[in-house]
Amino acid sequence: MSEATPVTQTAEIDLGGQRGQVLRQIARNPLGVVGGLLLLAVVLTAVLAPLLAPYSPEQVHFDTPFQRAFTVGFPLGTDDLGRDILSRIVYGTRVSLLVGALAVLLAVVVGTPLGLLAGYVGWVDVIVSRLTDLTLAFPFLIIAVGLAAINGPSVGNAAVALGIAQVPTMVRVVRAETLRHKELEFVLAARSLDAGGGRILGQHILPNALSAVIVQATVIMPVAVIGEALLSFLGLGIQPPTPSLGIMLSDAQQYIFRAPTAAVFPGLAIAVICLGFNLFGDALRDALDPTTRKR
């Protein structure tokens, strides 16, 4: 049994040496760098929201409604209640990232072990694959809207609904990686040394499948951000007075011709968040793909 240790050590050494190579590969990708910078700006905006926002997102200025963009005191203008659009976007970005991160965490925590078991254990694969196929037959947003409607509108329920809706996709990704790795030499060697299924999955297959999990997480995140905006737009997500990009879009549709920037700027914020994750995710996928990785 003690002879199985060198196999694990070899895999860990390979993974450790891969990190620097992946970072260098991303740095060589101009779009990846742009995506990384956008993500850095978005995260800093969310973290430093109290310092960056000129006003409280809920503060109203009844004497200055519908102010144009670039007005003194209101860089992006105000809405129908005189609330500062910039402040609400800054805090709305924080809410979007929070809901997206919780949804990704749920999808990873639930989908990864199910995918590992489905790819390694035959009878589990039959059950999980059929349930996954059944779930994937419904559009993602339909599932999210249905779950949010059942559980009620709130930040937590929106995150849970979006996360559960993304679990089947994560299961399929991890299952495919498990099926690919379980017939490779290092797994066969561990199996020949009487390593148990749990040890093989935890020490050999899971570390090698993490790259696919990370890439899929960068794909889920922008989908969750858009999903949160949609749920809030429909009144099934974040509830007023908490600022949300989706709520801002919903409110702005009532006076779109009078103050179009009230809808344009929140829409641009959603686009920037999603663009950053997509560009960085594509660069990360290429960097982790051994067939495209530059030596």
Q: What is the pLDDT of residue 295?
A: 44
The pair of structure tokens assigned to 138 is 């419904």
pLDDT (average), residues 130-135: 88
Distance CA 199, CA 149 (A): 41
The pTM of the full predicted model, rounded to 2 decimals, is 0.85
- pLDDT of 133 above 90: no
- pLDDT of 59 above 70: yes
Q: What is the pLDDT of residue 193?
A: 73
Q: What is the pLDDT of residue 291?
A: 53
Domain boundaries, the chain: 27-288
Identify which of 193, 186, 191 has the alpha carbon closest to the alpha carbon of residue 207. 186
The DSSP string of 113-175 is HHHHHHHH-HHHHHHHHHHHHHHHTS-HHHHHHHHHHHH-SSHHHHHHHHHHHHHHHHHHHHH
Distance CA 153, CA 231 (A): 8
More reliable by pLDDT, 93 or 196: 93
- pLDDT of 17 above 60: no
Q: What is the pLDDT of residue 8?
A: 41
pLDDT (average), residues 262-285: 92
**pLDDT tens-digit readout, 138-157:** 887 788 888 888 887 888 88
- pLDDT of 1 above 80: no
Q: Which residues contact 68 (CB under 8 A, 6 or more apart)?
A: 77, 261
Distance CA 201, CA 116 (A): 7
290 burial (CB, 10 Å; 0-12 / 13-18 / 19+) is exposed
Residue 196 per-residue DSSP state: -
Amino acid at 203: Q
Q: Find the angle CA(137)-CA(227)-CA(115) to the nearest 5 degrees.
A: 50
More reliable by pLDDT, 7 or 117: 117
CA distances from 149 to 101, 110, 144, 152, 227 (A): 21, 22, 8, 5, 13
- pLDDT of 256 above 60: yes
Question: Given 3.30.1020.10, 1.10.3720.10, 3.40.50.620, 3.30.465.10, which CATH number is that of 27-288?
Answer: 1.10.3720.10
Distance CA 110, CA 107 (A): 5
- pLDDT of 9 above 60: no
Average pLDDT, the chain: 84
Tokens 């809706």 found at: 165
Distance CA 233, CA 244 (A): 9
The pair of structure tokens assigned to 152 is 């009620």
Distance CA 98, CA 147 (A): 19
pLDDT (average), residues 177-187: 80
Distance CA 267, CA 284 (A): 26
pLDDT band at residue 101 using 50, 70 and 90 as cut-offs: very high
